[in-house]
Chains A and B, each alone.
Chain A
Amino acid sequence: MTARILMVLWTLTFFTVYAQSPPSDASLSGFVYDTNNGETLIGANVFLRDTKIGAVTNLRGYYVIPKIRPGVYTLVCQYIGYRVMTKTVTLSAGEEKVLRIDMQPEDIMGEEVVVYADSIPTMQKLFEKPISKVELSGQQINMIPQVVEADLLRSLQTLPGIVPVSDFSSALYIRGGTPDQNLYLIDGSDVYNPEHAFGLFSTFNTDAIKKVDLSKGGFGAEYGGRLSSVLNVTHMDGNRNEFAGTAGISILSAKTTLQAPIGSIGSLSGSFRRTYFDKTLGQAIDEIPDYYFYDGNVKAFFDIDGRNKLTISGYGGQDVLNYIFNENADNKAGFDYTWGNKTGSVRWTHVFSPQMFGDFWMTGSTFKSDFAFDEVTNYSEENFISDLTFKGSLEYHHSKQFITRFGFEQKNLHGVFLENFDGGKVDVNARRTHYVAYIQENWRPSDEWDIESGLRFDYFDSDRNFKNLDPRLALKYRLNESTNLKASAGVYHQYLHQIPRAFFSGIWTTSDRYQKGSTAYHFIGGVEREVLDFLTIELEGYYKKYKNIYSLNHFLITEVRPGHYENGLPVYDNTDGLFNRGDGHSDGLEILVKKEAGAVTGWLGYSLANTRYTIDGINGDHSFEPRHDRTHSVNAVANIDIRNSIRALKGKPAKYTNSKWLAGLNFVYASGQPITAPGSTYMIRTTPDDEAGFAVYPGGINEWRLPAYARLDVSVTYEKQFKHWSIAPYVQIFNIGNRKNVWFVQYDSKEQGGTIDQKVKTVNMFPLLPSFGVNFKF
């Protein structure tokens, strides 16, 4: 029913667009660059003063202002942290002017920051931003204190609607969805298991990030294949003017990012990091296993001509764990575990005409993990998923009111899970193809309204085929100069399902004859308002409905049956019995107050949320709240320029020199997680000849709540700028209050003189964790 309503609305919008095509005038288009490093700028506002005609640069830094009446205009380009660029342009009838815009970063060391406080551009920028979308730069991510390392996913956990399941996991639970419902993209390539160190850190090196776009829901037809969210990470293209770089060392890792021009036609950037506590703390503390990870990426950008650009990007990372139970034993027993992602993409960007712009990709991505015990135990596991994808996305600007975006995608998936053990093996090997086509109409009937409707067609070719047509609709209305209203609705399908494993990388499977595709319906409404010239407030409410979501059958071992036998040993070769099917819904309200300029920047977020799943065979088929449900959560993130903050409090003007002290603060409070608690304990034998042992029997699923979670992290950084380089030593303290946040509760017993003495023990998350390091820029 929901899908039908959305289909009707989409059809109405689509035909209205074509019924009202306006006559042609002049147009203005081109790319916006940072003059310092030649990087294109994503999301820059380009507009004609006094007209409210404008555009925002897309992910390639490209803008188009079509259908402009001939005349003389003042072109204004604005981007936070850059000087406002103004230029007089004269447009004659039918002229298709291509104009390159170079933006000069503010020299914040040399002079006072002047914040562009006019409410129109700020609200314009907010208006352009789709509902539920979050944009962060690498610099913003690096400012948030975290566990030892700056981390993208952990930074996102500071936003309303995004919660972690524990301190030990960087996985994102977005608006009630599970991590496998998030689409992770690096330069256009899918990333399947974006985690290092058993989930402690994410695979994204924040120094290499140019831009992060996260859509928490209601995303347009260009994205799909996941139910909850899209995280799109764009790496830096590289400095086109000169060799530049950053380097950093901390107690955990060393890393560097280098950038250099390739003659006059392009740039090259690369970054690399490796952890080394296996070489430091691991040498002194026996309990620390021989573990490290490394990752790196390389990106080459070629500005072939004004109409063609080519980007070649690659990423690779590997985690390596070698664990020996007893180093001094005569026979070494232990295991080796390696895992990592590799992605690659080639992107050709072509400007067909000022009005028509296109990106064409060939991308590849693999995730592979290998686990094996050493010689004294026969067990090994290989977990592999890969894709080779061809895709294109194009946009055509009919006029300032109408933009059509359309595209296609063919994703060739290959998944292997091979497990060898003494009594048999698991051997699942599947190849699937996912075809996608989409079209999206953006219609701006007036300065106040922005209507975007889209249709996405999926054809998933498995051992059973799935076809779906997903309508999407987004509305934006500018209520007044300081208030925007937004709404969005859409249908989403997902054909990949993940078997989550704590500390071990998840295993992906696909929809097939045993598991259908999953469906989600999103309904989102929101208000954005600018107050006091320097604060923006975003308030959003959402309702999500899930159909055919899959939860791992924790006791699948009792249900799976061999597909066939080899030499009398069972071979498990299908996914029957792996999952429990279910439905569910999430609803919530989020408030985000942001301050992006001044001596103190940051945000304050609040989220009220509720998620309930009904999973077949679980909890007597009654609905329950999943473990990641948090009713209330509050986040406060502040980045403080200490000297200027004090000056501001004293009423003195800001002063910038070649050094500064920065403080970072990250506070989180969240109501306790639901957890299943034991309803009772009892004594029982495993086998008839065994002695009775202590056992616990659970109560209702997730009926109990753990105590509330709270944590405050702080960091202090001293930045010193020299002529050609800068140094920034820092100290950060995770959980400075050393609060004992409960992870879970353990139950045990001890028998003494015929009495069973029960022990109940809480297992806590991270205590106070100090760390330090130093970063360099040159």
Chain B
Amino acid sequence: MMKLISTDFADSRKTIYLRKINGISGKKINIKKTQKEKYMKRIVFTGLLLLTACGEGKVSISELSYEPKIVFNAFITPGKAADDIRIQRNFPVGQDFNTDAQYLINALVTLTKVETNETITLVNNLNFPDNYFYDTTGTIIEYGKAYRLDVRAEIDGDTLHASSTTVTPNPGFQVVPEQSRLSPMHYVEKDSLTGEVKYFNVAFQRSPGTQFYVASMKSLAAAKSAFIYPPDNPFIPDKFDSSDVVKNLKELTTSSIWIQDTPLDNGISETVLDWFLFSFYGDYRLTVYAGDQNFRDFVETYDQVQDIDGNFYEPVFHIEGDGIGVFASYVADTTSFSILRPGEN
């Protein structure tokens, strides 16, 4: 039948319990010794837990597996020669490298017009040692045609091969200044009648069949003296000072905005340029690009590979073989605008 016992408190009941686990006839048990052992076990157990829960998790990046890749950093534009084909290499994580060492100056680079299978070999232009690129003269890229870039290069003793194909946009794309709002404005200027914030705005005639447009803004006056500091700038904290500007000058100088999924016909689209895109007073160069799918997928994924929780995702590159990066085609149109300093007219 059912018995009522306490588990481990009373001496008498303890004996019952101890007898139970050692058999009724049980061995003689030295309770004091058992208690001492129990004390020690609990202290050791808790100490072990504490020890385990101290210290730090060590990350060893040397364990990461590196795979050499040809980096495509290449753009072509209809109506021009192929003169912006930069072929580079990647590096292991954590390894410092010289910027010149990234350029593969002895690669075999060919460009093929897919429709005719006409292939030209691109020549490395050694006149720009800080920015080697492959180019050609005489071959003008056409609108609405597919081009394939093939690269064969040696990296760390391995011969690698990669290729990518882009389809150039159709003609028709251009910025429409008369429908844009690009006249000089003060930073976060408000309409004097409605009190609403005004924005720069760029309108453009679309290229039929092209759905990807990106507006890129570059400050031509970028310097710590031209920076828009708080309290004029509502997007950064007060403690962001001129030393931070110098440190981040490169990132602050340019910005871009994707003009989302425009219609495929050749009508007019426009986009608002939000104030948070600008960090400096003065003149800006505004370039709107009409790009192909390669351009779109690259822009939207290559620097979004690390999520907010730290994990990585595969970017969408349209490169076959041992390559990463972008080979894209585009048509661009450029205009300009200015952000006035307070009191400036």
> Quick check: is B312 within 8 A (CB to CB) of the other chain?
yes
CB pair B314 A712 closer than 8 Å = no
Closest chain B residue, CB of each to CB of A654? B9
Q: Given A648-B8, A680-B91, A746-B310: A737 and B300 within 8 A (CB)?
A: no
A629 CB, min distance to chain B CBs, angstroms: 12
A687's partner among B197, B232, B289 (CB-CB below 8 A) is B289
State the Cβ distance, A144 to closest chain B Cβ, in Å: 15
Please report the C-alpha to C-alpha distance between residue A113 and residue B302 in the assembled complex, in whole angstroms.
Answer: 64
Cβ-based interface call for B178 (8 A): no
A688 B330 Cβ-Cβ under 8 A? yes
Closest to A752 in B: B96
List residues 4-22 of chain B with CB under 8 A from any CB of chain A: 4-11, 13-14, 17, 20-21
A sample of 4 more A-B contacts (CB under 8 A), given A565-B263, A706-B57, is A598-B8, A696-B305, A712-B53, A743-B309
Q: Which residues of B contact A598 (CB under 8 A)?
A: 6-9
The answer to the question of A128 belonging to the interface, with a C-beta cut-off of 8 Å to chain B, is: no
Indicate whether B52 reaches chain A with its CB closer than 8 angstroms: yes
* Chain B residue at minimal CB-CB distance from A644: B9
Complex-state Cα separation, A431 to B316, whole angstroms: 34
Q: Convert A263-283 into 0s and 1s, putting 1 for each residue whose CB lies closer than 8 angstroms to a CB of B.
A: 000000000000000000000
Which of A424, A503, A554, A679 makes the CB contact (< 8 A) with B261? A424
Could you mark each residue 274-313 of chain B with 1 if its beta carbon is under 8 Å from any beta carbon of chain A, else 0?
Answer: 1110000000010101000000110111111111111111
From A330, A698, A764, contact of B313 by CB (8 A)? A698
The smallest C-beta distance from A110 to any residue of chain B, in angstroms, reads 16
B254, A691: Cβ atoms closer than 8 Å: yes
- A325 on the interface (CB 8 Å rule)? yes
Contact A570 B88 (CB under 8 A): no
A599 proximal to B (CB < 8 A): yes
Q: Is the CB of B307 within 8 A of A376?
A: no
Q: How far is the CB of A102 from chain B (nearest CB, A)?
A: 21
Q: How far in angstroms is the closest Cβ of chain B from A71?
A: 19
Q: Given the complex, which residues of B lie within 8 Å of A665, measured CB to CB?
A: 46, 49
- Contact B93 A503, beta carbon cutoff 8 Å: no
Contact B9 A684 (CB under 8 A): no
In the complex with contacts A599-B9, A669-B52, A678-B324 CB distance below 8 A? no
Q: Is the CB of A325 within 8 A of B235?
A: yes
A740 to B57 alpha-carbon distance, docked (Å): 6
Which residue of chain A lies nearest to B313 when distances are taken between CB atoms in the complex?
A554
- A683: chain B residues within 8 A (beta carbon): 71, 73, 88, 99, 102
Contact between A697 and B316, CB atoms less than 8 A apart: no
Given contacts A326-B238, A375-B197, A116 and B49 within 8 Å (CB-CB): no
Contact indicator per residue, chain B 1-44, by CB within 8 Å of chain A (1) or not (0): 11111111111011001001100000000011001001100100
Instruction: Identify the closest chain B residue to A653 (Cβ).
Output: B10
Contact of B344 with A by CB under 8 A: no
B312 close to A677 (CB less than 8 A): yes
A445 at the interface (CB under 8 A from B): no
Partner of A697, one of B304, B324, B332: B324
Q: Provide the bound-state CA to CA distance between A315 and B224, in Å.
A: 53
Contact of B230 among A166, A326, A682 (CB under 8 A): A326
Q: Chain A: interface secondary structure?
A: loop
Q: Is B262 on the interface with A (CB-CB < 8 A)? A: yes
Number of interface residues, chain B, beta carbon within 8 A: 123
For residue B196, which residue of chain A has the nearest CB?
A375
Check if B232 sits within 8 Å of A117, measured CB to CB.
no
Q: Would you call A756 an interface residue if the criterion is a C-beta within 8 Å of the partner chain's C-beta atoms?
A: yes
CA distance A125 to B316 in the complex (A): 55
Q: Is B50 an interface residue (CB 8 A)?
A: yes
Query: Are A763 and B310 neighbours in the complex by a CB distance under 8 Å?
Result: yes
How far apart sit A706 and B63, CA to CA, in the bound complex (Å)? 11
B271 within 8 A of A: yes
Question: CA separation between A115 and B233, bound complex, in Å?
Answer: 68
CA distance A676 to B95 in the complex (A): 19
Report which residue of B21, B271, B325 has the largest number of chain A beta carbons within 10 angstroms of its beta carbon.
B325
**A558, B300: Cβ atoms under 8 Å?**
yes
| B137 proximal to A (CB < 8 A) | no
In the assembled complex, which residues on chain A have CB atoms less than 8 Å from the CB atom of B46?
665
User: Does A305 sit at the interface, judged by CB under 8 A?
Assistant: no
- Check A331 against B188 for contact (C-beta < 8 Å): yes
Q: Which 7 A-B pairs have the closest CB atoms?
A: A744-B310, A707-B57, A740-B56, A329-B234, A118-B2, A333-B234, A712-B53
Contacts of A644 in B (CB 8 A): 9
- Cα distance A747–B92 in the bound complex, in angstroms: 12
Q: Which residues of A contact B235 (CB under 8 A)?
A: 325-326, 333
| In the assembled complex, A760 has its CB within 8 A of some CB on chain B | yes
Residues of B with Cβ closer than 8 Å to A? 1-11, 13-14, 17, 20-21, 31-32, 35, 38-39, 42, 46, 49-59, 61, 63-69, 71, 73, 75, 77, 84, 88-100, 102, 188, 196-197, 214, 216, 218, 230-238, 250-251, 253-254, 256, 258-263, 267-269, 271-272, 274-276, 285, 287, 289, 296-297, 299-316, 324-326, 330, 332
| B299: chain A residues within 8 A (beta carbon) | 686-687
Known: A681-B93, A754-B98. Is A650-B55 also a contact (CB below 8 A)?
Answer: no
Chain A interface residue count, CB cutoff 8 Å, equals 123
Closest beta carbon of chain B to A557's beta carbon, Å: 5
- B4 in contact with A114 (CB, 8 Å): yes
Expressed in whole angstroms, the minimum distance between the Cβ of B17 and any Cβ of chain A is 7
Contact A684 B71 (CB under 8 A): yes
Q: Is the CB of A755 within 8 A of B312?
A: no
Q: Show 19 A/B contacts (Cβ-Cβ < 8 Å), sorted by A.
A: A286-B237, A331-B197, A424-B261, A555-B315, A558-B301, A568-B267, A568-B268, A570-B261, A665-B46, A665-B49, A667-B49, A675-B311, A679-B93, A681-B91, A682-B71, A695-B302, A699-B65, A737-B55, A758-B96
Q: How far is the CA of A762 from the CA of B218 in the complex (A)?
A: 33
Q: Residues of B contacting A286 with CB < 8 Å? A: 237
**CB 8 Å contact bits of A101-138 with B (1 = contact, 0 = none):** 00000000000111111101100000000000000000
How far apart are B129's CB and chain A's nearest CB, in angstroms?
A: 11
Q: How far is the CA of A686 from the CA of B73 in the complex (A)?
A: 9
Q: Are A114 and B6 in contact (CB under 8 A)?
A: yes
B310 touches A758 (CB 8 A): no
Instruction: Type the 1/0 row for A76-95, where 1 means its CB is closer than 8 Å to any CB of B.
Output: 00000000000000000000
Chain A residues closer than 8 Å to B268, beta-carbon distance: 568
Could you say which residues of chain A place their CB within 8 Å of the CB of B35?
Answer: 649-651
* Chain A residue contacts of B95, Cβ below 8 A: 758
With A599-B8, A678-B312, A744-B310 as contacts: A760 and B94 at CB distance below 8 Å:
yes
Q: A682-B325, A685-B73 are in contact. Are A755 and B97 (CB under 8 A)?
A: yes
Q: Would B218 and A689 count as touching, CB distance under 8 A? A: yes
The answer to whether A758 and B93 touch across the interface, beta carbons within 8 angstroms, is yes
Interface string of A656-694 (1 = CB under 8 A from B): 000000000101010010011111111111111111110
Please indicate the chain B residues that have their CB under 8 angstroms from the CB of A695 in the complex: 302-303, 305
The interface bits of chain A over 706-720 (1 if a CB of B lies within 8 angstroms of the residue's CB, else 0) are: 111111100000000
- What B residues does A762 contact at CB under 8 A? 57, 59
Q: Are A687 and B287 in contact (CB under 8 A)?
A: yes
| A648 CB → nearest B CB, Å | 5
Q: Which residue of A lies closest to B52 (CB)?
A: A710
CA distance A558 to B260 in the complex (A): 10
Instruction: Tell whether A447 is near chain B: CB-to-CB under 8 Å.
Output: no
A537 interfacial by beta-carbon distance below 8 Å: no
Q: How far is the CA of A756 from the CA of B99 in the complex (A)?
A: 7
Q: In A744-773, which residues have CB < 8 Å from any B CB?
A: 744-747, 751, 754-758, 760, 762-764
Bound together, the chains give a CA A672 to CA B97 distance in angstroms of: 31
* Cβ-based interface call for A533 (8 A): yes
Asked whether A758 lies within 8 Å of B260 as measured between CB atoms, the reply is no
| A residues in contact with B102, CB < 8 Å | 682-683
Complex contacts, B20 vs chain A, CB 8 Å: 532-533
Do A534 and B8 touch across chains, with their CB atoms under 8 A apart? yes
Beta-carbon contact of B57 and A118 below 8 Å: no
